[in-house]
Structure 1
Amino acid sequence: MSSARLRARVQTARSLGMGSLAGHRLEFHLHSRNDGSAKCDAFHTGRSEDVLHGVLFGLSADELSVLDRYEGRGQAYARVEVEIIRADGVRVLAQTYRALHVEPGLLPYDWYKAHVVNGAREHGLPPDYVAQLEAVPEVVDRDVLRRARELAIYA
């Protein structure tokens, strides 16, 4: 959800506002093959009480394949079409990434969780939802260079 992180990957990305995805919840249960930590997933529960809050972004069509590579489409995630309810109540079709394989009990690195929380704050997601994200347990990345590189976008 962090605009800075997304634009570091795909420069044309622009926020189109907040949205919610019913029957889903944000889970940190994708095992990253790159660094071994937990990554996020728009986990489909099918339960009406589960609502994932997030941000709609627009980007150029040619950059979608770039984002697919960053997200590990086909290996870590599948890109799926979902119906989002925008903040103004309008329903729109959008695409999100859904984990292909989940592994409960994983923890995200502190810098990764910071990307998620910073994005949630940046875009004004509901305070109770931001608090839930802040409460997710994390682990400090012992790779200090990677940690510094990831957090440098906020300096």
Structure 2
Amino acid sequence: MLYFAYGSNMATQRIAARVPARFVTTALLPAYRLAFHQRGGDGSGKCDIVPASAQSAVYGVIWEMASHHKPTLDRYEGLGAAYNETWLTVTDLASDRQFEVQAYIGNLTALGLRPYTWYKHHVLAEAREHGLPAYYLRALEGIEAHQDDNAERHAREMALYAPIEPLMSAT
């Protein structure tokens, strides 16, 4: 199955920690906008996609995963409580080919939520890694975020980006 990630699941490290998935391509979802108004279990703002004007668009990553891994991802995303699922048509940025993809849409939205800095980092780091357009990166950079008071959670989330130490060979 094909899954469209537009938030923190764009992060290769984050999706790999959740389910085995293969990168397919980067894609554009027209007539939607990205919002950080989904209430996370930690009380901060998480990503959601919202229908918007024809001039708006959300960029993201298409992952392919075996359908038997979907229930695991559904649990991470809180399917049925935090998020619902939908099927959308997105366009490959490289070839203009269209894909039918599964995506999650927020179910617990509220005004005034902001993401934690580590969550914003997930979204921004992977948007950069996957080469999303510069104007989109600037918009993500402009999202107001706040520091997580839970230093342990912040460190755990940021550890996904720690460089992997090379194995030392015994001599």
Q: Report the TM range for the smaller structure's normalisation.
A: over 0.9
- The share of aligned pairs that are identical, in percent, is 38
Aligned residues: 152
1:81-104: per-residue Cα shift (whole Å, max 9, x none)? 000011110111001110113212
Structure 1 partner of 2:160:
153
Q: Deviations over 1:94-135 (max 9, x none)?
A: 011101132121100000110000110110000110111011
1:28 aligns with 2:36: yes
List gaps (5 residues or longer) in structure 1. none
Instruction: Tell me the residue number matched to 1:109.
Output: 116
> Equivalent of 1:65, from 60, 71, 82?
71
Tell me, yes or no, if structure 1 residue 19 matches structure 2 residue 20.
no
Question: For residues 43-82 of structure 1, what are the structure 2 equivalents within 5 Å?
Answer: 43-45=50-52, 47-82=53-88
Whether 1:5 and 2:5 are equivalent positions in the alignment is: no
Is the CA contact 1:42–1:96 (under 8 Å) kept in the aligned structure 2?
no
Match of 1:93 in 2: 100
Query: How far apart are residue 15 of structure 1 and its match?
Result: 1.1
Q: Does the residue aligned with 1:52 lie in a helix, a strand or coil? A: strand
Looking at structure 1, the residues matched to 118 and 47 of structure 2 have their Cα atoms a distance apart, in angstroms, of 13
Runs (4+) of structure 1 exceeding 2 A deviation are none
Counterpart amino acid of residue 4 in structure 1: Q
- In 1, Cα distance between the equivalents of 2:37 and 2:160? 25
TM-score normalised to the size of structure 2? 0.87
**What amino acid sits opposite 1:55 in the alignment?**
V
Larger radius of gyration: 2
CA-atom RMSD in angstroms: 0.8
Partner Cα separation in structure 1 for residue 148 and residue 109 of structure 2: 21
Alignment of 1:112-151 (within 5 A): 112-151=119-158
